[in-house]
Structure 1
């Protein structure tokens, strides 16, 4: 049996995967999608964006989680 190496984190992968989790709901207060934590502008730009842009967005996602109140 061959060991499979662990998958690269999204910020190191190429092409950079989308953070979309198919839970599309924009939060009125923060302007962020409650599923992927991206702004509407980032979601629109994603398809044509380069990997540097996508990695920059991924880097912001952990900080944005605190901006949303899921209660």
Structure 2
């Protein structure tokens, strides 16, 4: 997990979009992150999409390679 990917950071970034009325690209730029990542977080927060997690065996292989 990146330093900026803490649950608090995610919540704050999504709230800027949902409650603050800012656009995803604007929040992503100011947070120095990908707009696609923020869009995925916003979808998950709305319940429109479940967070994806790789199976443990795939995560172990990914970290090695």
Sort the TM-score into its range (normalised by shorter chain): under 0.3
Q: Could you say which structure has the larger radius of gyration?
A: 1
Q: Which has the higher helix share?
A: 2
Q: State the TM-score, normalizing by the size of structure 1.
A: 0.26
Tell which has more relative contact order, 1 or 2 (C-alpha 8 A, sep 6+). 1
